[in-house]
Amino acid sequence: MAVQALYALQNGFMGFEKSGLFFGERSGERVRIPIACYLVRTSDTTILFDTGLSPRAVPGLLRTDSLATFTEADLLVNRLDSVGIEPENVDVVVLSHLHFDHAGGAFLFSKSELVAQQDEYAYASYPAGFFSGFYYKKNFDLPGYRWRLLDGDTEIVPGVTVLRSDGHTPGHQSLLIELPQTGPVILAGDCCYWQESIDKEIPPGVVWDPTRAMHSIKRLKTVARLMNGRIFPSHDPVFWASALKAPDAYH
């Protein structure tokens, strides 16, 4: 039961206001940000972290967002295929949270165990008005699918651990992966949008509770420091440009 590889899967790009990325930012500037999913392989388990956009959402996004790009290769099924994986080969899907750019592909995994925090699932089902544009019930209201709803930190398999990192949303979670050569990597999800969010401890501009969001950034930094690990931010174009992308992998 050993962790073997971590693949970064590109799921297109979209435009986003800087004011949505950084709490307190007032600039109306829009920037192009990557949408990413990650696949973790252990000796006996295949785990996906986040599922990107729903393919149903892509045409509308391309029509209304001049910064959005999305190629055939960016489809999650094609990214998985590039590393020899079909959706039915994925044992566990860990969803950082249920926003549309993270939970949009969950429907592809009818055979997998879908893992979210219980508080996230409950809130996403009945979000506050200010957040309702980020949650689409169709993405996670999936009758007959196998959900595992967590309440806090949880070891998924040895070397792969969910870390609760709420604040961006009420039940946000990150994923710690203990890789044999690279060392520990924390997939932050939207706890940390950019490297700047980590360095300056700036909560997301899109946020449920900025104080908890800041505490979660500090917590991930502490775990990374104590374990001598790295944090991968979710939507950082500079980080993404230099990240190893599938079919290459971190080992």
Nearer to Zn ion, 57 or 249 (CB): 57
Nearer to Zn ion, 112 or 173 (CB): 173
Span of 42-50, 113-121, 184-192, 236-244 interacting with Zn ion by CB under 5 A:
184-192
Nearer to Zn ion, 99 or 212 (CB): 99
Residue 172 in the binding site for Zn ion (CB under 5 A):
no
Length of the chain: 251
| Through-space distance between the first and last CA atoms of the chain, rounded to whole angstroms | 15
Task: Tell me the closest approach of the beta carbon of residue 99 to Zn ion, in angstroms.
Answer: 4
Query: What is the C-alpha separation between 103 and 10, in angstroms, rounded?
Result: 15
Nearer to Zn ion, 107 or 208 (CB): 208
- Whether the bond between 247 and the residue before it is cis, its omega within 30 degrees of 0, is yes
Out of 50, 120, 190, 236, point to the residue binding Zn ion (CB under 5 A). Answer: 190
Task: Tell me the closest approach of the beta carbon of residue 25 to Zn ion, in angstroms.
Answer: 16
Nearer to Zn ion, 42 or 174 (CB): 174
Which DSSP symbol is given to 181? T
Task: Tell me the closest approach of the beta carbon of residue 100 to Zn ion, in angstroms.
Answer: 8
Nearer to Zn ion, 124 or 150 (CB): 124
Question: Which 80-119 residues touch Zn ion, going by CB under 5 A?
Answer: 99
Burial class (CB in 10 A: 0-12, 13-18, 19+), 169: buried
**Helix (H), strand (E) at residue 12:** strand 3-17
Task: Tell me the closest approach of the beta carbon of residue 205 to Zn ion, in angstroms.
Answer: 11
Count residues binding Zn ion (CB under 5 A): 2
Task: Tell me the closest approach of the beta carbon of residue 80 to Zn ion, in angstroms.
Answer: 22
Assign 3-class secondary structure to 216-248: HHHHHHHHHHHHCCEEECCCCHHHHHHCCCCCC
Q: Tell me how far the alpha carbon of residue 57 is from its chain's centroid.
A: 17
Query: What is the C-alpha separation between 93 and 113, in angstroms, rounded?
Result: 6
Task: Tell me the closest approach of the beta carbon of residue 168 to Zn ion, in angstroms.
Answer: 6
Query: What is the C-alpha separation between 173 and 161, in angstroms, rounded?
Result: 10
Q: Which residues bind Zn ion (CB under 5 A)?
A: 99, 190
